[in-house]
Amino acid sequence: MPSHPLTVGFDLDMTLIDSRPGIKAAYLTLAEVTGVPIDADLVVTRLGPPLEDELAHWYPPERVAEVADLYRGIYPERAITPTTALRGARKAVEAVQALGGRALVVTAKYEPNAKLHLDHLGLAPDVLIGGLWAEGKAEALLEHGARIYVGDHTGDVRGARAADALSVGVTTGPCDEAELRTAGADVILPNLTRFPAWLKRWHARGAAV
């Protein structure tokens, strides 16, 4: 277990970044290349689960792996530039580091493409781990000793709980406050702008114990 007193994990899509414009562009290109109609507007309303889960709505099972590889190849050219950082994202990551801790990004996204987003937007977590979803995220959270995991989806709440980490939900993604609370989120924030102040209060309480 790492010796750092504080490690905080963050989800990526719709927690740190608004990837909807880029993902929509990538899916429109994928539809054009494969000749299969895809409702890209619908796709971006349900971001969070693994790529293969979404592709299964549009392609037969035997094609999903092949099309996933094609999509990941399309992604760097189509999806990186249109994607923006969500409000407070940079300061949220920096708030962890300012307390002497480590910021960890754990995402279901293909890791090389996730890194392109972070580099393009100047977000600098200490660790990036891709390809993990829901309870699977607990693997990375436990490995790095994360005490908090921040995410926008009920799958992120499940991951935090599986790792016995505090679950902080943000309502910037597809899941509203009621859904996140029902899933077991410990804290709900409207976005990341309030996270640094919340983290300072939480950390001060822990230090005082």
Are residues 126 and 191 located together in one domain of the fold? Answer: yes
Residue 49 has pLDDT above 70, yes or no: yes
Own/partner long-range contacts of 56-61 (Cβ < 8 Å, ≥24 apart) = 59/34
> Phi-psi region for residue 2, left (φ > 0), alpha (ψ -120 to 50) or beta?
beta
Are residues 14 and 24 located together in one domain of the fold? Answer: no
> Which of these, 93, 112, 116, 88, lies nearest to 22 by C-alpha position?
116
Residue 15 has pLDDT above 90, yes or no: yes
Q: What's residue 206's pLDDT?
A: 78
In a domain, 106, yes or no: yes
DSSP H helices, the chain, are: 20-34, 40-43, 51-55, 61-79, 89-98, 111-121, 137-143, 154-162, 177-183, 195-208
Q: Find the distance separating the first CA and the last CA of the chain, reported in whole Å.
A: 22
Residue 5 has pLDDT above 90, yes or no: no
How many residues are there in the chain? 209
Domain of 29 in residue numbering reads as 19-80
What is the value of pTM for the model shown?
Answer: 0.95
pLDDT band at 209 (very low <50, low <70, confident <90, very high): very low
- Domain CATH for 153: 3.40.50.1000
Domain's final residue, options 80, 98, 113? 80
Spatial separation of the C-alpha atoms in residues 179 and 153, rounded to whole Å: 9
Q: Are 130 and 51 in contact (CB under 8 A)?
A: no
Mean pLDDT of the chain, nearest integer = 96
In a domain, 137, yes or no: yes
Indicate the angle between helix axes 20-34 and 61-79, nearest 10 degrees.
Answer: 130
Residue 32 has pLDDT above 90, yes or no: yes
Q: What's residue 208's pLDDT?
A: 45
Q: Read off the tokens for 40.
A: 């890209």
Q: Are 165 and 140 in contact (CB under 8 A)?
A: no
Phi and psi for 97 in degrees, rounded to 5? -70, -30
Domain count, the chain: 2
Residue 116 has pLDDT above 80, yes or no: yes
Are residues 75 and 94 located together in one domain of the fold? Answer: no
**Averaged pLDDT, 39-48:** 97
Please name the residues in contact with 174: beta carbons below 8 A apart, sequence gap of 6 or more. 14, 45, 46, 47, 48, 152, 153
User: What are the pLDDT digits (tens) for 58-70?
Assistant: 999 999 999 999 9
